[in-house]
Amino acid sequence: MRKTSSLDADYFEGLYRGDPDPWGFETKPYEAAKYDDSIAALGDERAASALEVGCSIGVLTRRLAPLCARLTATELSPTALARARERCADLTQVEFRQARSQTDGFDGPYDLIVLSEVVYYWDDADLARVAAAIRQALSPGGRLLLVHWLGETDYPRSGDDAVAALAAHLAGFVQVERSVRRAEYRLDLWRRPAEP
């Protein structure tokens, strides 16, 4: 049965207290391939300032950091955030923030925002708030990277529904730069057009 409201900090904290890596970010070939694809999609374009929402235990954060002069990584679960801080302790360009809501950290401006496997956790109200925050935080010419699993879940949205809903909220604000569909996940890279 699909949940109707956003998954909250207690949900994620319970998962991370029960298992330090509940999705197998450190060990599953699926995750490694997804991260390789994400980094490849971003290419050689460095971000002066980037935001990763829902950084979990910092596996992708560590991969993103070399592409960013400054990277802000947020997470709802204190347990996961502590592990992320440990993993990336040597990366001085990374700032970790304990998120209290889905929009914490969107103070920008950012020229890269990464939403990797998070949008489908949000209900309509939270997704609308995040979309409004993206409109305020993403710099002209900035990019928005979305990656979502395509399998069945009990989250408020499926991967496809999550991307479609966010696209509707950001219509006219971003353009599709790349869209890749794999067997298990989809990757979407959008860009806010540069101002003339």
Q: What is the 3-state secondary structure (H, E, C) of 151-193?
A: CCCCCCCCHHHHHHHHHHHCECCEEEEEEEECCCEEEEEEECC
pLDDT of residue 196 exceeding 70:
no
User: Is the pTM above the cut of 0.75?
Assistant: yes
DSSP string for 98-116: E-SSTTTTTTS-EEEEEEE
Task: Pick the range with the lowest mean pLDDT from 45-49, 65-69, 73-77, 192-196.
Answer: 192-196
Identify the structural domains of the chain with CATH numbers, from first to last: 9-191 (3.40.50.150)
Mean per-residue pLDDT over the chain, rounded: 94
Give 2's pLDDT tier (boundaries 50, 70, 90).
confident
